[in-house]
Amino acid sequence: MATCPNTDPKKNRESGIPITIPAACAGLLTFLAYLPSLWNGFVHWDDDFYVYENPNIRAINARFFKWVLTSADVSNWHPLSTISHAVDYAVWGLNPFGHHLTSIFFHGLNASLVYILAVRVYRSPETGTIPGRGKTVVAGLAAALIFGLHPLRVESVSWVSERKDVLSGFFFLLSAISYIGYARFPLDKGRRYLLSLACFSLSLLSKPMAVSLPLVLLILDFYPLKRIVNSGVSAKKMVFEKLPFFILSASSVLLTLLAQSKGGAIVALESLPVSSRAALAIRAYAFYAYKMLLPMDLAPFYPHPLPGELFNRVFAASLVFFVSVTACCIIAAAKGRPFFLAAWLYYVVTLFPVIGFVQAGGQAAADRYTYLPGISLALLAGAGAVYGRFAQTRTRVALACAAALALFAIAGMTVRQEGIWKDTVSLFTYEIDRYPDRVFVAYNNRGMEYERFGQAGRALNDFSRAAANNPYYADPYINRGALYLNTGRIREALRDFDRAVALAPGNPAAYLGRGNANLAAGNPGGALTDFEKAAALDPGSPATYYGMGVARLRLADPEAAATYFRKAALMQKAERRLR
C-alpha cells in the first residue's frame, strides 16, 4: 500500500529534530569561518565604483531609485545589489566592517538554505518520506558545510563588490525550495508558485547569472520530483508553467547584453572562432570541477590561455572528462540512479552563462562563477558521504572521520584565502606572484594604490609592467601619464596620453589628462580641444570644465573662462552634497 505523502512540510522533522536547527548550525558555522573578513578593507577592484567612490549610493531617495533602475553600474544592471550597498552606506558609512558583515550574513543564510534544499532533494519522491532520517541530517549538514566553507566561495563573500553572488544566491535558493514545495505539496500551490517566481525576479535583480533557473526547475522535475514519470503531469504543462520564468530570463539576458555592450565589457563573439570558444568552454567545465575537488592555487584573475595553449593535452583531458562524466551519468540514470545525471545537468546549465561563449571581461575563469554551480557538487558529496553502501561499521567510522578532517582542512584554506583580500596591495601582489608575465590589471591597480600612498617609484614600476604585459591596455598609460605630469616630466606625460587616446578614443580620462599636459606644456589651444572632447564624453566632470576655464583664460578670453569656472564650482558643490 502506498504511503500518503506528508502534505504539510512545516511538520517535517528528521530524527525528531526540527529542520531549522541543523540549518541554523550550518549557517552559524559558515558565518564563523568568515569572521576574519570583517577586518578586511575595500579593494581597488570595482569596490571604488560600487561603494567608496560612488556618490550615487550616498542618499536613498527618489533620485537614487531613478538612477539605480535606469543606469548600468560598471557595465552591469543589478539594482537590488546596488540598493544593498546604499543601505550599508546609510548604516555604516565607508567602514568596510559593516559591508563585509552583510555579505557574510547572507552567505551564512545561503548555507542554511542549502541544507534545506538538500533535505528536499534527498527526500523520496515516491512516498514523501526521508530514507534514513538520521542519515539525511548528516548528509544535509555535510552538503551545506561543503558549500559554505569551500575556498571557492571566498571571492564571492570577501569581495564587497561580489555582494551580487550572495544576494542572488539567496533568492535563487529560495525560489528552488519554493518550487519544490509547489510541485510536491497540494496545499497553497498558487502561493508557492508565486513565491518561487517572485524570488527568481529578485535573484535576477541581484545578478543576471540566475538566468539558468527555469532549466534548473525542469531538472528538478526530472529528479528529485520525478514529475515526468510519477505525477502524470504532461511535459507540455511542465514547460508551460515555466513560461513566466523563461520570459524573465530572456528579459534579463537582453538587459545584461545591452548594459555590458554599452560599457565595452563584452568581448566580441567574432573575435574568437566557434571552435576556440567551444574549446574554452570544455576546458572551463573541467577546470571548475578540478578546483572544487582540489582548491589549490586559486587566483582572483585567471588569464586566458595563449593561442598555442588552447588545443593541447589540457584540452584533450578536459574533453575526455566532459564526455566520460556525461556518459557515466546517462548510464547511471538508465539503471535507475538519476541523481548523478540531475546533478551534472545542473552543473552544466548553471555554468553555461559564464563558460565563454559570450565573454564578459578578460578573465578565462573566476572563482565567483562557482557560487551557484557548486551547490550540485556539494549535494553529491553530502550524499556520497552518508548513503554509500559500506557494510563494515569500522569503514563508516573511518569515512566519517576523513570527512570531518576534510571539512576542517577546507575551512582552514578558506580562512587563509580570506587574508588575500585584506587590501589592494595584498590582493594584487598575490595575483602577480602567480602570473607575473600574464596579468596587467593587477599591476595597474596595485600601482594606483602605491600612488595613493605616495610611493611614486613603486607606482611607476607597476604602471610600466602593466603597459609591457599588455601594450593595448589604455589605463596604465593614463595613470603613468598623470604620474609623469605630477613630477614635471611633461614630454613623457604627453607621450603616454597620446598613446592612451589612440587606444581608447572613447575614454574621457585620456583627453582630460592630455589636456592638463598640454596646459603644462604651454599649449592652451590643444588643451581646450582635449577638454572639449572630454566634456562631450563625460559632461559631469567638474575637473574638465575647470581645465576649460584655465585654457580660455590663457587664450585671453576671461568671460568664457569665468563661465566655465562657475560651472565647475556648481558641479563640485553638487558632488559635495551627494557625499
The pLDDT tens digits of the residues spanning 373-382 come to 999 999 998 8
Q: Please state whether the predicted TM-score (pTM) of the whole model is above 0.85.
A: yes
- What is the structure's pLDDT at 227? 84
In the block, cell 580660455 appears at: 552
Per residue, the 3-state secondary structure of 125-153, as one string, reads CCCCCCCCHHHHHHHHHHHHHHHHHCHHH
- What is the structure's pLDDT at 277? 77
Q: Where in the chain is CATH 1.25.40.10?
A: 469-578
Averaged pLDDT for residues 320-332: 95
CATH architecture assignment, domain 469-578:
Alpha Horseshoe (1.25)
For the beta carbon of residue 556, count every other beta carbon within 10 angstroms. 8
Chain centre distance of CA 151: 15
Average confidence score pLDDT of the chain: 87
Q: Percentage of the chain surpassing pLDDT 70?
A: 87
Q: What is the DSSP letter of 356?
A: S
How does strand 266-267 pair with strand 17-18? unpaired
Say if residue 221's pLDDT is above 80: yes
Say if residue 549's pLDDT is above 80: yes
Say if residue 266's pLDDT is above 50: no
pLDDT in tens, 535-547: 999 988 899 999 9
Max CA-CA distance within the chain?
Answer: 99
Long-range pairs of 268-272 with CB within 8 A, sequence gap ≥ 24: 269/357, 269/358, 272/359
Averaged pLDDT for residues 311-337: 92
Instruction: Give the separation between CA 208 and CA 69, rounded to whole angstroms.
Output: 14
Instruction: Give the separation between CA 516 and CA 57, rounded to whole angstroms.
Output: 30
Instruction: Give the separation between CA 324 and CA 113, rounded to whole angstroms.
Output: 31
Enter the C-alpha cell of residue 114. 542549502
Helices marked H in 35-78 — which ranges? 47, 62-70
Say if residue 128's pLDDT is above 50: no
Say if residue 76's pLDDT is above 90: no
Say if residue 262's pLDDT is above 90: no
Q: What is the DSSP letter of 51?
A: I
Say if residue 73's pLDDT is above 80: no
Say if residue 460's pLDDT is above 50: yes
- What is the structure's pLDDT at 10? 47
Q: Name the residue type at position 567.
A: K
Enter the C-alpha cell of residue 560. 568664457
Averaged pLDDT for residues 305-322: 81
DSSP, collapsed to helix, strand or coil, labels residue 198 as helix
